[in-house]
Chain A
Amino acid sequence: EVQLVESGGGLVQPGGSLRLSCAASGFTFSTYWMHWVRQAPEKGLVWVSRIYSDGSKTTYADSVKGRFTISRDNAKNTLYLQMNSLRAEDTAVYYCGRDPDYGGYSFFEDWGQGTLVTVSS
């Protein structure tokens, strides 16, 4: 059974940093693209970042570029999101998502339960 378990969320002051983790199990982690998607309270889904299966390429939404860094440790089956210079508008539930890139089609086949990040003084 595929499992994705996020952790690391919490309350942080504006300008602060946080590192989210997503522990993966039940599949060969090193063969899948992975993503972070966030959802502000009572709002819709927003894609944040993507990383290739081997970590060789990363892509970011403009709203987080230069502040967030996605990475992965395939030996530990873990995805990360380092978030710096946090702003109030980064407050959201952050989900990790597994992407099989099946036949050239990218989609979020499995999701974690999410971890809440609150940026407030």
Chain B
Amino acid sequence: EPEVTQTPSHQVTQMGQEVILRCVPISNHLYFYWYRQILGQKVEFLVSFYNNEISEKSEIFDDQFSVERPDGSNFTLKIRSTKLEDSAMYFCASSEDRGAPDTQYFGPGTRLTVL
């Protein structure tokens, strides 16, 4: 069964450093998403991406964040200058765009630890 994959599973970085989290969505999917979950808190939407542009973003997704689909398979989330409060589990998801309600399929997550 096709699945969303994410690398790395765990990333440790120093405050102020740039990180890139990588995702490979399911191959025929057209919508891509990033969510995050700070330890002990809700899963929060960050951004959705469709047709090579951002479709929707939350207030969390400020200028420190960017997304890119550099080739036909990868979808990345970049954090330019990490802060302690960026420590969280980051989930990538994708959906087919078959009409509402569209099922989003999630990857296993990348745990980001900012020291």
The answer to whether A and B assemble together is no
Residues of B within 8 A of A (CB): none
Residues of A within 8 A of B (CB): none
